[in-house]
Structure 1
Amino acid sequence: MNQWRWGRQSLRRRLLTTVMVPLVLLLLLNSLITYVGALIYANYVHDKNLVDDTLTLVQLMASESPDDKVTRQAQFLLEYEPQGRNYFSVFSRKHGLIAGNASLQPPSGLFTDGNEPQLYNVHIEKHALRAASIQMIDPHDAGDQLEVTMAETLHDRHVEAQQILLLSIPAQALLIIAAFLLVWLGVRTGLRQLDPLTKQLANREHDLAPIGDHDVPVEILPLTRTIDGLFARLRGMLALHERFIADAAHQLRTPLAGLSVHAERAQGSSDPVTIGDALNHIQRLIHRANRTSSQLLALTRAQTTEHEAGDSEFLDLAQLTPELVGQRVHEALAANIDLGYDGPAGPLWIDGDRHRLQELLDNLIDNGLRYAGSGAVMTVMLTRDSDGICLAVEDNGPGVPPTWIERLGERFFRVPGSDEEGSGLGLAIVQRIAEWHNARVRYLSASSKGGLRVEIVFPPATPPTKHT
């Protein structure tokens, strides 16, 4: 179990790792800054002491006799350093080196007007030194000028900086550890804010209501809003399923009841005429039930408005429409209806789905074949206008009274007084498929003499240019 938990990604472990690595890097950077700061301070203190030692040597030179300006004891004390080595030199303009190390000579151009010691860096015997030099009038010979220099190695400066660093590292480490513990406690406490949300979701069974933004931390709002979007899609799918079940029960109740009645007629009679009539009714009811179930499935598919990759393609309605109309000519002839097509020769491109468009046009033609009446004329027209590409199906049948035109496209709506059997789903399917294509449906009277005209206006599309 523990191995399984450690093998999975942990938000807490990732957050702590994300914080711990910068903290360790911060400790290293702080140590470097501390060392540099300590070295700067050590240089400042040693430079001050070096200047003081140079002035002390000047005073010593003024107090010594002219024959022996620096005694051996004084020279020993000046050069003595437990952890390193000190250097000094006294140069006379007239006599050259008077005392000290001949290699320690101030560079030319160092001195300017003034009596302050000048600090500079120098190398002697592969040693890096810090030196302080000053010019003075020889107290025993006013016509001579002396250059007095004191220098020391940098060893003590680095040692003192390292000591300061070693003293500061434990305190900095404790501070980093304390900060890490506080971050760990904060992460642990912060993640506990997810417990109410987790418990709320765990207690749900069939509730797909949105989580909402109330009491949800800002950082996980994108997650909860994504979950709300998923819940919304699930509610839509469940609503479609429930609507399909309700529609199926509503539409199949009548033919199933009729099937039961006529089946009982056939079973309870020995008259061949009665039995034949009952079987004919049963056959018609079965055909109606089949058509109703097919239209219910088509309506459910049409109500799925989400577009997925590959659902649509560029289609030329001027080429597709006459092909689809031609497939229904034999049915129109059987119903004694003159079915024709009128459209342009040039291409009319839309972005759509071929199968949905075929279902749309089939339902429009079925509606005309069913209600236009024998001897009617039905025309499928295709035009381009300022609104887009218009696909229209027009007939010269009895039409629909203006009172009911606005209700065309509702599920299960059938114009009162119609003698033809139907499910009232054909135009509802047309409406849903048009919405899927971002098209608009218009229901109009074909002419003053009657008839119905249904127009679907599609937004035009520009297909990609083919390169040869």
Structure 2
Amino acid sequence: MRRRLLAWLLPTTLALAAIWLWAAYAIVVHFVNVAYDRSLEDSVETIARQVVASDSGFSVDLPPAARQMLEFDRVDRILYQMVDDQGVRHVGNGEVPAPVTSQTNSHGNVFYDLTRDGQHLRAVQTRVSGAGGRFMLVRVAETRQKRNMLSREVMAYMVAPQSLFMAGIIVLIWIGVGRGIAPLARVRDAIARLDPSDLRRIDDHALPMELHQQVSVMNGLIARLAALLSAQRRFIADASHQLRTPLTNIRTQVELALRAGSYEDMRAMLEKVDAASSRLVRLTGQLLTLSRIEAGADGFAHRADFAIDAVVADVVAWSIPAALKKGIEIGFDAPPDGVPFHGDQHAIEQLMANLVDNAVNYTPAGGRIFVTVGKTGQGVQLIVQDNGPGLGAADRERVLNRFDRGAQPSGTGSGLGLSIAQEVVRLHHGTIRLDESTGGGLKVEVRLPLTVVPQ
């Protein structure tokens, strides 16, 4: 990042320095020209004062000593010329052409540039008026060597400190960029020190305010990752604990079956193996379902519009064989016009399958289960009630925890069905309530917000 920032800052700084030097050189040239133009103007006005106008014309009183002083210069060549309105040349040491383009100052003198014999000259022209509308033009020109030399000398004195100044700026930029990205380096080091077994949030107290939002987003990601890893660890621990018992039972029954002395004994043992295998398959499915829900897997994130009464009816239909096998009567009721719903259909299926299966598992032979789908003012109401042994008031909160079947753990359940139901309800921002049914059994009431997307 430092290299990238320097790649942006240094060229920009150097470009600004180059612009500054160019502007400084233009300013120096301007003021050097102003100074030498004033000297040139003094020369042309000195000559103009030597012009005497009369009725007969013009005369020039320019002694030889004055001419020598005017023409003397160690560096530049000085030219002057006086021409009247008739084009007659009176005094001069060289040809000074008339101005083509010029600029006139406040004294009425005309300054202009010209080129002669390959040399660039600066010239000034003034006008001396005489009688009868006659006039004489006095012109003085000089080469530009002194001007150029002085401009270069001034710039040389300016470039040296400017170079030191730019070197200092570059050093300060290097140090400033390093100090500026130091908090980012601390964040990087904090991320590098993160360990899957100890995902701590990044401390942002010593960081600049500009980084607080980014670190906050990162801490949120770390928190979600920590929750995911925690859910995975709980799943592994619970799975290893819950699967160990049925696997041990299956192995024991298989060993007994292998040592059975008769076909009837072997068949009895294999029937126990079959029952244990069925419980193991159901337990494995419930563990996987609970793991996906807690981890927020994509399988429980596909929300769509569907008829929730039809889904519940299908779940009840799937449960009829198991209910009939125990002699349990199972009923279903829903509004005739249907109940539209927006949510995760597969998760709702899991919710109702666990509630109905839980009721079938704990309801004694000859019992009754009734499933109801209804509409409320704020959403959907799902009720599963039976006339089984029910639960005490103290157990109704406990059984929502995983692998907790309350104080009366009769039946063959694993203690996961209501936990899965509670997680599905949580994903849909609903509520679940356990109460005593009218027949003395358990009544499970689920309320889900009706969030149907308008078509």
2:232 is aligned to 241
Post-superposition CA distance 1:427-454 (Å, at most 9, x none): 1111112222334434455558665142
Residues in 2 aligned to 1:291 and 1:111: alpha-carbon distance in whole angstroms: 106
* Alpha-carbon contact 1:337-1:369 (below 8 Å) kept: no
* Alpha-carbon contact 1:365-1:393 (below 8 Å) kept: no
Matches within 5 A, 1:409-428: 409-417=400-408, 419-428=410-419
Post-superposition shift, 1:39? Answer: 1.4
Residues in 1 aligned to 2:76 and 2:353: alpha-carbon distance in whole angstroms: 105
* Alpha-carbon contact 1:413-1:424 (below 8 Å) kept: yes
Secondary structure at 1:238 match in 2: helix
* Alpha-carbon contact 2:329-2:368 (below 8 Å) kept: yes
2:36 is aligned to 46
Residues in 1 aligned to 2:446 and 2:373: alpha-carbon distance in whole angstroms: 9
Residues in 1 aligned to 2:35 and 2:391: alpha-carbon distance in whole angstroms: 106
Matched, 1:343 2:322: no
Which amino acid counterpart does residue 451 of structure 2 have in structure 1? P
Q: Which of 341, 354, 358 is the aligned partner of 2:349?
A: 358
Post-superposition shift, 1:83? Answer: 6.8
Which amino acid counterpart does residue 369 of structure 1 have in structure 2? V
Q: Which of 336, 361, 364 is the aligned partner of 1:370?
A: 361
Which amino acid counterpart does residue 232 of structure 1 have in structure 2? A
Residues 22, 42 of structure 1: alpha-carbon distance in 2 compared, 3 angstrom cutoff: same
Matched, 1:104 2:94: no
Post-superposition shift, 1:299? Answer: 0.9
TM-score, reference length from structure 2 = 0.76
Post-superposition CA distance 1:35-73 (Å, at most 9, x none): 11211221221232233223322343369x964444688
Matched, 1:312 2:312: no
Post-superposition shift, 1:426? Answer: 0.7
Any stretches of 5+ residues in structure 2 without a counterpart?
Answer: none
Post-superposition CA distance 1:75-127 (Å, at most 9, x none): 68657777766565556679987556685379999698xxx454554668799
Any stretches of 5+ residues in structure 1 without a counterpart?
Answer: 1-10
* Alpha-carbon contact 2:51-2:59 (below 8 Å) kept: no
Matched, 1:14 2:4: yes
1:285 is aligned to 276
* Alpha-carbon contact 1:54-1:117 (below 8 Å) kept: no
* Alpha-carbon contact 1:392-1:455 (below 8 Å) kept: yes
1:3 is aligned to none
Residues in 1 aligned to 2:102 and 2:202: alpha-carbon distance in whole angstroms: 83
Sequence identity percentage: 23
* Alpha-carbon contact 2:44-2:125 (below 8 Å) kept: yes
* Alpha-carbon contact 1:262-1:279 (below 8 Å) kept: yes
* Alpha-carbon contact 2:127-2:136 (below 8 Å) kept: yes
Residues in 2 aligned to 1:327 and 1:448: alpha-carbon distance in whole angstroms: 24
Post-superposition CA distance 1:367-407 (Å, at most 9, x none): 23223443414224143x4323x151333424544454444
Moved more, 185-194 or 34-43: 185-194
Residues 83, 316 of structure 1: alpha-carbon distance in 2 compared, 3 angstrom cutoff: farther
Q: Which of 369, 379, 390 is the aligned partner of 2:371?
A: 379
Q: What value does the CA root-mean-square deviation take over the aligned residues?
A: 4.6
Q: Which of 374, 388, 393 is the aligned partner of 2:383?
A: 393
Which amino acid counterpart does residue 343 of structure 1 have in structure 2? P
Residues 72, 306 of structure 1: alpha-carbon distance in 2 compared, 3 angstrom cutoff: farther
Matches within 5 A, 1:41-440: 41-61=31-51, 67-70=59-62, 78=70, 88=80, 90=82, 103-104=97-98, 116-118=107-109, 120-121=111-112, 132=124, 148=138, 150-152=140-142, 157-158=147-148, 160-185=150-175, 187=177, 206-216=197-207, 228-256=219-247, 258-259=249-250, 270=261, 277-305=268-296, 311-318=301-308, 320-335=311-326, 336-345=328-337, 348-352=340-344, 354-373=345-364, 374-383=366-375, 385-388=376-379, 390-398=380-388, 399-417=390-408, 419-440=410-431
* Alpha-carbon contact 2:362-2:411 (below 8 Å) kept: yes
Q: Which of 10, 19, 31 is the aligned partner of 1:29?
A: 19
Number of residues of Structure 1 aligned to a counterpart in Structure 2 = 445
Residues in 2 aligned to 1:87 and 1:133: alpha-carbon distance in whole angstroms: 12
Which amino acid counterpart does residue 339 of structure 1 have in structure 2? G
Residues 349, 134 of structure 1: alpha-carbon distance in 2 compared, 3 angstrom cutoff: farther
Moved more, 394-403 or 243-252: 394-403
* Alpha-carbon contact 1:408-1:427 (below 8 Å) kept: yes
Which amino acid counterpart does residue 329 of structure 2 have in structure 1? I
Residues 283, 174 of structure 1: alpha-carbon distance in 2 compared, 3 angstrom cutoff: same
Which amino acid counterpart does residue 461 of structure 1 have in structure 2? V
Post-superposition CA distance 1:128-179 (Å, at most 9, x none): 87655556676xx799776655455666545543443344334433432343
Moved more, 192-201 or 409-418: 192-201
Which amino acid counterpart does residue 332 of structure 2 have in structure 1? G
Residues in 2 aligned to 1:306 and 1:161: alpha-carbon distance in whole angstroms: 76
Residues in 2 aligned to 1:241 and 1:110: alpha-carbon distance in whole angstroms: 91
Which amino acid counterpart does residue 371 of structure 1 have in structure 2? Y
* Alpha-carbon contact 2:99-2:112 (below 8 Å) kept: no
Residues in 2 aligned to 1:122 and 1:102: alpha-carbon distance in whole angstroms: 11
